[in-house]
Amino acid sequence: MSSFFFNFFIFFLGIIELGNAKFHFKEQKKYPTVYVDPSGHGKFATIQSAIDSIPQNNQYWICIIIKPGQYREQVKIPREKPYIYLKGDKNGEVIVTWDAHGSIDTDATFTTEANNTIVESITFINSYNYPPKRNKHPRVVAVAAMISGDKCVFFKCKFLGFQDTLWDVQGRHYFKICTIEGAVDFIFGNGKSIYEVKLSNLSITVSFVQINLTVIIQLITFEKNQLKT
Ligand SMILES: *[C@@H]1O[C@H](CO)[C@@H](O)[C@H](O)[C@H]1NC(C)=O
Ligand SMILES: *[C@@H]1O[C@H](CO)[C@@H](O)[C@H](O)[C@H]1NC(C)=O
Ligand SMILES: *[C@@H]1O[C@H](CO)[C@@H](O)[C@H](O)[C@H]1NC(C)=O
């Protein structure tokens, strides 16, 4: 477990007021952890069933470690479940994929409405128009992630889609070493977020017109001519 990063997240969350979390650095090894493993070695076979097991209005950090693999499910952390730390097991990629489309309100492969969410090392895909090569579907709205809780941190995550990939609805969010892929309005919303990310374009018509974020973009890798703003 990368306690360094956890401390880092806590430091970040501390900066933006951690609120009433009764979490202490020295107790970090004691936070409860549950495991998601479809092969039956964990208590939960799906990510959503692990989230569902967490009590409402939870006041302590709880970690959900997810075994590498592809999870075909829509995952939602509801408003009343703060302090969830979703973590992909470091021995391989954790991919969460779904293909709902046509409505930003219900499409998202991953949604968090909860304050204080941390997500590490997980790839979220809306596969309806992704990958775009050989994709025969009409190009429509198809959200990969929708973030509306306050104080949410994403570390080493990927958000992959084509149109409206990442809906940064509202709140203060930090995206560190993430990849966000899309081609049409692919980051949009009203969040007040910091992005230290790799932006990846799928076509030369990358559009940022819908962006309304207070953003500091520190591009780690950046292709020339990518942004046509
Ligand atoms: C989440 O945080 C916001 C802003 O800090 C606050 O207004 C809201 O009440 C919080 N939501 C919950 C469910 O505690
Ligand atoms: C991104 O756009 C550039 C042109 O601006 C293009 O050369 C490159 O192939 C694109 N990348 C992808 C992954 O499509
Ligand atoms: C963008 O943000 C400004 C300031 O917060 C707000 O007044 C405006 O309505 C927002 N625009 C959209 C399209 O949400």
In this predicted model, what pLDDT tens digit does every residue of 152-190 receive, in sequence order? 999 999 999 999 999 999 998 988 888 888 887 788 888
Decide: 205 in ligand 2 pocket, CB within 6 A: no
In the chain, the amino acid numbered 168 is: D
Ligand nearest to the CA of 56: 1
Pocket test for ligand 1, best of 150, 151, 152 (most atoms within 8 A of CB): 150
Query: Which atom of ligand 1 lies closest to the CA of 17?
Result: 5
**Active site members:** 185
| pLDDT of 196 over the 50 cut | yes
Nearest ligand to residue 191 Cα: 3
- Could you tell me if the CB of 223 is within 6 A of ligand 2? yes
CA–centroid distance for 129 within its chain: 19
Task: Please report the pLDDT score of residue 53 as a whole number.
Answer: 96
The model's pTM is: 0.75
Report pLDDT for 30: 63
User: DSSP of the chain, one letter per residue?
Assistant: --HHHHHHHHHHHHHT--TT----GGGGGGS-EEEE-TTTTSSBSSHHHHHHTSPTT--S-EEEEE-SEEEES-EEE-TT--SEEEEE-TTS-EEEEE---S-HHHH-SEEE-SSSEEEES-EEEETTS-S-TT--S------SEEE-SSSEEEES-EEE-SBS-EEE-SSEEEEEEEEEEESBS-EEES-EEEEEEEEEESSTT---TTB-----B--SS--TT----
Q: Which of 210, 212, 215 to mutate to test the pocket of ligand 3 (most atoms within 8 A of CB)?
A: 212
Q: Which atom of ligand 2 is nearest to the CA of 202?
A: 14
Interval between CA 210 and ligand 3 midpoint (Å)? 10
